[in-house]
Amino acid sequence: MDRHRNQWKFVGLCFAMMFFTAAVTSARSPKPMEHIELGAEGKSIQNADKTPEEYTYIPGERRDPFVSLLRRGEQKNNTEDELTPLQRVEISDLHLVGIVEDPEGNKALVQTPDGRGYTLRVGLRVGKHDGTVKRILDDKVIIQEKKADILGQITVSKEILELKKEEGNR
């Protein structure tokens, strides 16, 4: 019984608070509207002399809010049509088949996943991440590649394609 009485007291208190809140809110008088003078064309002439202030943004150490956080590194200038077949393949997907010694510089033969063969020479661009063939040694090819991480930081890494030795020539 005592519990029901406390519940009714609480409900009554809530109604009283709503009543007083409504009474206080309605007791406030609205502000009178300002008198606006109209010119001959029907436009307000009170604010005619004021010119809008020009806003200038000074970034300081702030980053540009319109630049993606994920891709702040180098933007690729090449479209898919301008890339060579070797630039459309990941370096890890290339298979080094052979190396040919030449007085002008060694050349390497690689095979793409679709079975096509290509010749590599020093300076040739290879891979999806702007890789360049740096050196061709007797048993491996060293490729320098630029990769951008999630935050857009560019890191230079070396990928090595090694020539697989045959089973009988150990």
DSSP symbols for 133-162: EEEE-SSEEEEEEEEE-TT--EEEEEEEEE
Contact predicate 133/141, CB 8 Å: yes
The structure tokens listed for 126 are 């290879």
Tell me the pLDDT tens digit for each residue of 52-72.
778 777 777 777 778 777 665
CA quadruple 74, 80, 81, 85: dihedral sign? positive
Question: Can you list the domains of the chain with their CATH numbers?
Answer: 85-162 (2.30.30.830)
pLDDT over threshold 60, residue 42: no
| 0.85 surpassed by pTM | no
Q: Rg of the Cα trace of the chain?
A: 38
Other beta carbons within 10 angstroms of residue 38's beta carbon come to 10
Contact predicate 107/91, CB 8 Å: no
d(CA 146, CA 11): 70
CA quadruple 87, 93, 95, 96: dihedral sign? positive
Mean pLDDT of 131-159: 89
Query: Confidence class of residue 20 from pLDDT cuts 50, 70 and 90?
Result: confident
Query: Confidence class of residue 135 from pLDDT cuts 50, 70 and 90?
Result: very high
Listed in sequence order, the DSSP H helices in 2-96 are 2-27
Give the model's pLDDT for residue 54. Answer: 81
Mean pLDDT of 73-86: 67
Mean pLDDT of 82-111: 91
